[in-house]
Amino acid sequence: MLLRFCMKLPLVATRLIIVAFKLMVAAIVVLSILPLLTGGIGLDLEGEDDGEMTLEDSTIRVQMPITVRNDGFFDINDLQVSFIFMDENGTLLAESEGEQMDIPAGEETEVSIELALDLLDLDQQVRSDLIFNGTEMMFDAKISAKYTLDMVQLSVEAGGDMGWGPFINDLQVDEWNAQATAEGDDRFVSVPFSLRADEVFNGLQTMTVTEYRDENGYTSNVSQSVHLSQQVNEMAKIPLSQEAYDRLLNGTANATVRTTLYVLDCSTYDEGYLNLGGGGGGDPIWNLQLQMGSSNLQGMGGSYFVSIPFSFQTDPAYQGQLADAFVEYSDSHGFHTNVNQMVNLQENGWAEVQIWLSPEAYDTVYNGNEMVHVKVTMTYEHWTGISEQDYSEPWGVSP
């Protein structure tokens, strides 16, 4: 019997080796899958505040720490997180390739994802869009790692569009609030202008040039340095000649004023029609302008509103009368509403309408970076004036 067993011993040994192999592979598979099912391995994004975006010279840096937990039975090796940003045409804009790192079993490690985007590397048009209008950029994120004694390699790629910017928006020349001043022999027109800048651009020094031009071909301008902050209100004090000053005051200047903002070799401008003296050339109302910079969202006990202010100037002959203001509001998701309001005509008139929003429309502008279209139509007797604007709202949204 023993001899027979010894004869068959190699067969028994081979069978045992095969069984051991099967058990080993089964154990490896089970021990690999188990922590994934029980949540032992995972990524934890740090608190929202920790995802920091800063501007250094012309480079935007994004830092995002991610904690990788490995409560599994095997080490995670060669973990690498990389990001690629591209413009709409697929041109590479920024690339971040994290260092490969090992996370031993039972430990957790913080992986810092760093992304640097030098704005000066971008095409000027792309840069300008990014700074002033906001743009969609395509990104590709890739996470790769080895697990199960390096026998399993996982690679996850995720791509998508990501809205960036605008970092500076709502540049507005408040020409309705312009004032002509005389200081000794010098004559000036002071035109206020305002803009908003994203927190990332806080403190960045930029240049504005405000240019005055009347219908007689007279031009004058003033340059000034502006330090960006979330709300910038500045006054451009443009020197004028006596003649130009007189024309402006007696209402024959038909002047325009344009403020151009220069940031990182890109520019944007806003202009307005100046008429300080003689009214709107016979019109009862002129200089009708939406003041979206002062608009705001309100949520009151389940009801949602957006306040939309607008300004205008009234000929003294019509001051104290009532005009009809019809304000229309629409968003890109098909929400459309309007409101009608009577407005008291004043010399430097300012009115505000409240527009009811549906919860979805409120959510769209509060949580999403959406473009809305606003139009105000003022009617007084036979006179009609229109001001409309596409507005990428910053209400509760960070770019």
Structure tokens at 100: 């490969």
Closer by beta carbon to another protein, 24 or else 120: 24
151 binds another protein (CB under 8 A): yes
Element (H, E) at 17: helix 9-37
- Candidates 5-13, 183-191, 228-236, 334-342; binding stretch for another protein (CB under 8 A): 5-13
Contact 321, 298 (CB under 8 A): no
Closer by beta carbon to another protein, 7 or else 342: 7
- Candidates 20-28, 181-189, 321-329, 359-367; binding stretch for another protein (CB under 8 A): 20-28
10 binds another protein (CB under 8 A): yes
- Candidates 19-27, 84-92, 171-179, 288-296; binding stretch for another protein (CB under 8 A): 19-27
Q: Smallest distance, Å, CB 221 to another protein? A: 48
| Distance of alpha carbon 187 from alpha carbon 21, whole angstroms | 95
162 binds another protein (CB under 8 A): no
17 binds another protein (CB under 8 A): yes
Q: Which of 18, 30, 33, 45 binds another protein (CB under 8 A)?
A: 18
DSSP code, position 381: T
21 binds another protein (CB under 8 A): yes
Closer by beta carbon to another protein, 29 or else 43: 29
Burial of 90 (0-12, 13-18, 19+ CB in 10 A): exposed
- Candidates 101-109, 115-123, 147-155, 236-244; binding stretch for another protein (CB under 8 A): 147-155
| C-beta neighbour count of 18 within 10 angstroms | 10
Structure tokens at 149: 């004694």
Helices (H) and strands (E) in the chain, counts: 5, 25
168-173 and 101-103 strand pairing:
unpaired
| Distance of alpha carbon 87 from alpha carbon 239, whole angstroms | 43
Residue type for position 64: M
Q: Which residue, chain included where needed, has tokens 């003296």? A: 277
Coil vs helix vs strand at 283: strand
Q: Footprint of another protein on residues 27-46 (CB under 8 A)?
A: 28-29
Residues near another protein (CB under 8 A): 1, 7-8, 10-11, 14-15, 17-18, 21-22, 24-25, 28-29, 148, 150-160
